[in-house]
Amino acid sequence: MQTTLTSLNANAAKFIATPRKMLINGQWVEAASGKRIETKNPATGEVITTVPEGGVEDINRAVAAARKAFEEGPWPKMKPNERGNLLLKFADLLEANAEEFSHLETLDNGAPLSITESFVSLSVDNLRYFAGWTTKITGETIPVSVPGNIFNYTRREPIGVIGGITPWNGPLYMAILKLSAPLATGNTVVLNPASLTPLTVLRLGELVQEAGFPDGVVNIVPGSGSIAGAALTEHPNVDKISFTGSTEVGKQIIRSSADNVKKVSLELGGKSAHIIFADADYETALQNAANAVFFNSGQACIAGSRLFVENKIYDKFMSDLAEYTKNFKLGNGFDQSTILGPLISEKQKNSVLGYVDIGLQEGAELLVGGNPTEAELANGYYVKPTVLANVSNDMTIAREEIFGPVVTGMPFNDIDKVIRLANQTEYGLGGGVCTTDIRKAHKVANAMRTGNVWINTYNLLDPASPYGGYKQSGLGRENGSAAIDMFTETKSIWVNLD
């Protein structure tokens, strides 16, 4: 394949030239076991560098540091505006190094630069938004009706040590979500990033230090979820787990958090419905339908993977969608013309192609996509954007999260029926509706049992707007004031004034 790749940012090149360490109590250290893991470039399958493989002992050290920083360090005594200023400085540093971060992320997880650049900028916004919250976290004075002259008020207090566990599909932004609101509210954090994509999170650790957060406030321990992640979720000195990942692991985390009744917030999987009415603006609907599912090569928890199209336009819409999809260029994320990058791993690629096969066996019709045959794509983990028609909502491919560039098209002719079908899933994360009829739009939006609904658009996110899932898509909300609630305890204080 003849391509011109953007050359790697010099600081990113420097970062990967040295084997990285992990951050515990303000020190860059090796894993206690001395073990290291490789991280690969999914566009080529080549090893980029190695990072320490954190284990139980490293998690123990990191939790001890975070506990000490929470209870004794300068952190608990810091004024809200000082915490806010640190978060602002952190945001400025991230912005100043934006190109290095987007390049490291593209290298490590394969997403096109246009996507990793937008995640860096969303991350900067997120830090600034929560920096603003530090001085606005107030309690209430409550007019209680008990006898006597009693003054009752509430305080919002940090929860303590937060364990943050993140996936590989948006490594930097997901880590920022585990830092911004938790730190704004005065907690300390131990982060365990996905072992497939540790690089930007480790680089973030350097900015944490440069910004001047006290030692132990942020600790970063890469290492496998089943060992390091599990140790964090079981740890008696961790007060809360904030997790983004699969529903399956989310359930495991609830179980392993039970012993010390840890607080848990979970951002999990999805199988979002996208409903296109015949009266929609046709071109907008077509673009939305494609972008909703193919963004980040379908590796998005909110992917609009179940596409419901009104009968009247179904055949034409599906064939136009297939045509439109052919224009999405698959390739290396450093190629400016790439729209879809590779999937994260060989395993993920095989899993997605396995679902396409299952769909075909179940009777779905392949309109476009499937396995790339071009020899030049052979070393990367590529899957062509795939459009399947003739699908019904009870097929495996319409029930299970595929987490790849695969959309399943289903016709409908009745608004109540399509609402029922849209909600016929164990998930409840995202949903979309395209129509020019404001009544239909709101009827569908209100009826969807999901945490996010987009009308005549899709995939929009903002630090000020709450984000999370109904049903098995999660517990709690990130972003907005909801995140402040999620990372604070409320204390009620009673004063006898007699």
Determine the Cα–Cα distance for residues 230 and 216; give it in Å rounded to an integer.
20
Residues 128-157 that bind Mg ion (CB under 5 A): none
Query: 10 Å Cβ neighbour count for 335?
Result: 19
The residue from 226, 337, 350, 361 that contacts ligand NAP (CB under 6 A) is 226
| Residues in contact with 394: Cβ distance below 8 Å, sequence separation at least 6, in sequence order | none
The residue from 54, 229, 331, 431 that contacts ligand NAP (CB under 6 A) is 229
56 token code pair: 């139980």
CA 300 to chain centre: 8
Indicate the residue among 187 and 197 with the shorter CB distance to Mg ion: 197
Which helix (DSSP H) or strand (DSSP E) does residue 139 occupy?
Answer: none
By CB under 5 A, residue 105 contacts Mg ion: no
By CB under 6 A, residue 160 contacts ligand NAP: no
Determine the Cα–Cα distance for residues 51 and 45; give it in Å rounded to an integer.
17
Residue 297 touches which of Mg ion, ligand NAP, none (Cβ within 5-8 Å per kind) = none
CB 278 within 8 A of CB 255: no
| Residue written as token pair 């980029």 | 48
Stretch that binds Mg ion, among 27-35, 104-112, 362-370, 481-489 (CB under 5 A): 104-112
Residue 429 touches which of Mg ion, ligand NAP, none (Cβ within 5-8 Å per kind) = ligand NAP
Determine the Cα–Cα distance for residues 335 and 325; give it in Å rounded to an integer.
19
Strands (E), 185-327: 188-192, 218-220, 240-244, 263-267, 273-276, 306-310
By CB under 6 A, residue 450 contacts ligand NAP: no
As measured in angstroms, the least distance from the Cβ of 196 to Mg ion is 5
Determine the Cα–Cα distance for residues 87 and 126; give it in Å rounded to an integer.
10
By CB under 6 A, residue 167 contacts ligand NAP: yes
Residue 342 touches which of ligand NAP, Mg ion, none (Cβ within 5-8 Å per kind) = none
> Is residue 376 annotated as a catalytic residue, yes or no?
no
Stretch that binds ligand NAP, among 70-78, 240-248, 274-282, 368-376 (CB under 6 A): 240-248
Category of 352 on φ-ψ map: left (φ > 0), alpha (ψ -120 to 50) or beta:
alpha
The residue from 12, 21, 23, 39 that contacts Mg ion (CB under 5 A) is 39
Determine the Cα–Cα distance for residues 380 and 362; give it in Å rounded to an integer.
28
- Among candidate residues 267, 310, 401, 478, the one labeled active-site is 267
As measured in angstroms, the least distance from the Cβ of 268 to ligand NAP is 5
Residues 183-202 that bind ligand NAP (CB under 6 A): 194-195
Residues 256-275 that bind ligand NAP (CB under 6 A): 267-270
Determine the Cα–Cα distance for residues 452 and 354; give it in Å rounded to an integer.
29
As measured in angstroms, the least distance from the Cβ of 356 to Mg ion is 24
As measured in angstroms, the least distance from the Cβ of 110 to ligand NAP is 14
- Residue 11 phi, psi dihedral angles, 5° rounding: -70, -35
By CB under 6 A, residue 238 contacts ligand NAP: no
By CB under 6 A, residue 385 contacts ligand NAP: no
Q: Residue 25 burial (CB < 10 Å; 0-12/13-18/19+)?
A: middle
As measured in angstroms, the least distance from the Cβ of 343 to Mg ion is 11
Stretch that binds ligand NAP, among 94-102, 107-115, 161-169, 199-207 (CB under 6 A): 161-169
As measured in angstroms, the least distance from the Cβ of 15 to Mg ion is 14
198 token code pair: 């540790």
82 token code pair: 């000082």
As measured in angstroms, the least distance from the Cβ of 490 to ligand NAP is 25
Taking Cα atoms as reference points, which of 290, 299, 305 lies closest to residue 399? Answer: 305
Category of 110 on φ-ψ map: left (φ > 0), alpha (ψ -120 to 50) or beta:
left
| Residues in contact with 323: Cβ distance below 8 Å, sequence separation at least 6, in sequence order | 368
By CB under 5 A, residue 108 contacts Mg ion: yes
CB 476 within 8 A of CB 128: no
CB 127 within 8 A of CB 461: no
As measured in angstroms, the least distance from the Cβ of 109 to Mg ion is 6
Indicate the residue among 108 and 310 with the shorter CB distance to Mg ion: 108
Residue 108 touches which of Mg ion, ligand NAP, none (Cβ within 5-8 Å per kind) = Mg ion
By CB under 5 A, residue 233 contacts Mg ion: no
265 SS3 class: strand
The residue nearest ligand NAP at its CB is: 225
416 SS3 class: helix
Indicate the residue among 111 and 453 with the shorter CB distance to Mg ion: 111
As measured in angstroms, the least distance from the Cβ of 39 to Mg ion is 4
The residue from 168, 294, 334, 458 that contacts ligand NAP (CB under 6 A) is 168
Give the CA distances from residue 335 to residues 91, 112, 280, 373, 403, in Å, rounded to whole numbers and listed in that order. 28, 8, 34, 20, 23
DSSP state of 335: B
43 token code pair: 């566009």
Per-position x/- string for 428-447, each x denoting binding to ligand NAP as judged by CB under 6 A, each - no binding = -x------------------
By CB under 5 A, residue 200 contacts Mg ion: no
Size of interface with ligand NAP, in residues (CB under 6 A):
29
> Is residue 267 annotated as a catalytic residue, yes or no?
yes
- Among candidate residues 53, 234, 301, 478, the one labeled active-site is 301
Hey, which residues are catalytic here? 267, 301
Contacting residues toward ligand NAP, per CB under 6 A = 165-169, 194-195, 224-226, 229-230, 233, 244-246, 249, 252-253, 267-270, 301, 401, 403, 429, 469, 474
Q: Which residues bind Mg ion (CB under 5 A)?
A: 39-40, 108, 197
